[in-house]
């Protein structure tokens, strides 16, 4: 059953998810003004799936049941599915100008599906069947599942089993006949509070000494012993201001990150997808990372489209749209943005079938895609700030523009003075100019920077992680042989 956005929001109210923020437990987190924009953002992924004009991108036919499902719960069956995934992500970036938080779950589904198949083939385990049954449940209920990979890691120079505190990596603390008990945490988890379930994966390749840390499983977001601490974002308390609107920049949508803690959580056997098979931890990590690095060639491009549009509006409102340097900057922003999209489409077009039958992207090109994402959005943002001008960060508050306090010698109010001195081109009102500048501030520096600029650097792994994968997959030895053949070296 495909839910609507409103049905999704109501489904969250039925959960008993434990959420903490600013040192306090948040009872009604669904309606909390800081959290709600991120929920609204996820709701768009449901509403667009109900719209016939977007059905081809937003929905798919389940390979497990034959039913129509949201594409975010789909196992990719072809290179065309991989391309549609990227196009869907660009569309949602354009509609929300934010992180819509469902990509990690989709990427986890596809990585765990193929990895469990190959694990079972070697060890005769039942993980693949466990996962298929779980995913059928997800598709049937149209649930959101957070894909959780990143552990706190503690001392980065030590492997998991040598950490002073074992909880710095999620690990198995007890094995029972009916399941396992796990402890630890996952950090900066995108959309975790807004998810119905979580799917946990190991964070790095493991050796035998770390087999208790090689664990993958699913659990409901309100499982006993599980809780979340909301991650702070720049300018987040503006959402708590009475009548907040213009100053928010993007008042309706936003992203979300949290620390997810597992305090001795019991996981039944049917939801276990890896429990000590350390030699497959690296495979799961690499496949998930590849899918997620492909994702950035869609979502960040969609947000980039909106940033470019906002910068062009700011230029027009400033009366500078005809300046040659402004036109050139907009061209450069477009060039960089479309280059990211090219990489996302290219790694999808070169996709291939795994042993399990779902499609994997080209890992080398996916890592090249994400490496570019660690750089280009920063330049796009820099150019947007250049075009917008300094007023983006020095403008008085919305309250000042609305103030009726008289301060001028002729009885002018603070609001009248602000509207007088911050007026620009006749193409816009002062408020419209203010709105686009606050929007750019939000994208470049504020809460939305988490879902665009900063996440472009660290999401789906650090820049060095991609460079390591590019080094592994770049086939330098093969390229040397090509040079030898042409140069006549035997």
Q: Which residues are catalytic?
A: 99, 103, 190, 257, 292, 296, 299, 455
Query: 226 has which bridge partners?
Result: 262
Cβ atoms of 387 and 311 within 8 Å: the answer is: yes
Q: Euclidean distance between the first and final Cα of the chain, in Å? A: 63
Q: Residue 210 is encoded by which pair of tokens?
A: 């770390």
* Cβ–Cβ < 8 Å for 447, 234: yes
Spatial distance between the Cα atoms of 100 and 103, rounded to a whole number of angstroms = 8
CA distance 411 to 352: 72
411: alpha, beta or left? (left if phi > 0; alpha if psi -120 to 50): left
Q: How many CB atoms lie within 10 A of CB 468?
A: 13
**Residue 235: CB atoms within 10 Å:** 17
Structure tokens at 397: 């508050």
Distances (CA, A) of 290 to 61, 84, 120, 128, 401: 23, 16, 22, 20, 47
Buried b (16+ CB within 10 A) or exposed e, 16-29: ebbbbbeeeebeeb
Signed CA dihedral, 8, 229, 103, 267: sign only:
negative
Please tell me whether 190 is known to bind a ligand. yes
Closest CA to 256 of 480, 7, 13, 30: 30
Residues 226 and 200: beta-carbon distance below 8 Å: no
Q: How far is CA 435 from the centre of its chain?
A: 25
Task: Output the CA–CA distances (angstroms, integers) from residue 287 to 10, 282, 296, in the order listed.
Answer: 33, 9, 15
CB-based contact 263:184 (threshold 8 Å):
no
Residue 168 contacts by C-beta under 8 Å, 6 or more apart in sequence?
Answer: 151, 152, 153, 154, 160, 184, 185
198 — phi, psi (to 5°)?
-125, 145
H/E segment holding residue 64: none
Annotated binding site: 190
Annotated binding site for FAD: 190
């Amino acid at each position: 059953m495909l839910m609507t956005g409103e049905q999704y929001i109501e489904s969250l109210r039925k959960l008993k998810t434990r959420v903490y923020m600013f040192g306090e437990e948040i009872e009604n987190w669904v309606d909390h003004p800081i959290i709600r924009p991120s929920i609204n953002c996820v709701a768009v992924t449901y509403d667009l799936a109900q719209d016939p004009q977007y059905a081809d991108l937003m929905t798919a036919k389940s390979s497990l049941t034959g039913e129509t499902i949201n594409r975010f719960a789909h196992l990719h069956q072809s290179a065309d599915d991989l391309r549609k995934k990227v196009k869907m992500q660009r569309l949602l970036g354009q509609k929300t100008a934010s992180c819509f938080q469902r990509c990690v779950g989709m990427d986890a589904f596809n990585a765990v599906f193929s990895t469990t198949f190959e694990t079972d083939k070697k060890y005769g385990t039942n993980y693949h069947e466990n996962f298929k049954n779980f995913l059928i449940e997800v598709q049937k209920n149209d649930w959101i599942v957070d894909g959780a990979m990143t552990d706190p890691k503690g001392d980065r120079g030590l492997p998991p089993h040598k950490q002073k505190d074992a909880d710095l990596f999620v690990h198995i603390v007890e094995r029972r006949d009916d399941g396992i008990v796990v402890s630890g945490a996952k950090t900066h988890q995108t959309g975790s509070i807004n998810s119905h379930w979580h799917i946990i994966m190991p964070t790095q390749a493991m050796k035998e000494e770390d087999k208790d840390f090689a664990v993958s499983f699913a659990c409901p977001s309100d499982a006993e012993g599980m809780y979340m601490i909301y991650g702070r974002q720049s300018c987040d308390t503006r959402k708590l201001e009475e009548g907040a609107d213009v100053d928010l920049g993007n008042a309706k949508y936003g992203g979300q990150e949290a620390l997810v803690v597992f305090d001795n959580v019991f996981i039944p056997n049917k939801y276990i997808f890896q429990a000590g098979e350390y030699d497959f931890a690296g495979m799961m990590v690499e496949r998930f990372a590849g899918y997620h690095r492909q994702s950035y060639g869609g979502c960040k491009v969609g947000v980039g489209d909106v940033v470019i549009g906002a910068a062009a509006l700011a230029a027009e409102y400033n009366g500078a749209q005809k300046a040659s340097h402004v036109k050139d900057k907009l061209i450069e922003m477009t060039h960089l943005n479309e280059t990211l999209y090219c990489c996302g489409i290219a790694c999808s077009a070169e996709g291939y079938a795994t042993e399990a039958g779902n499609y994997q992207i080209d890992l080398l090109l996916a890592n090249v895609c994400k490496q570019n994402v660690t750089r280009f959005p920063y330049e796009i943002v820099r150019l947007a700030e250049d075009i917008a001008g300094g007023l983006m960060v020095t403008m008085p508050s919305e309250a000042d523009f609305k103030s009726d306090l008289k301060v001028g010698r002729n009885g002018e109010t603070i609001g009248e003075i602000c509207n007088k001195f911050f007026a620009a081109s006749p193409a816009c009102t002062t408020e419209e100019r203010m709105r686009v500048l606050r929007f750019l501030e939000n994208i470049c520096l504020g809460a939305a920077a988490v879902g665009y600029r900063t996440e472009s650097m660290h999401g789906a792994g650090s820049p060095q992680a991609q460079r390591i994968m590019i080094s592994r997959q770049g086939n330098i030895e093969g390229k040397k042989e090509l040079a030898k053949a042409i140069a006549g070296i035997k």
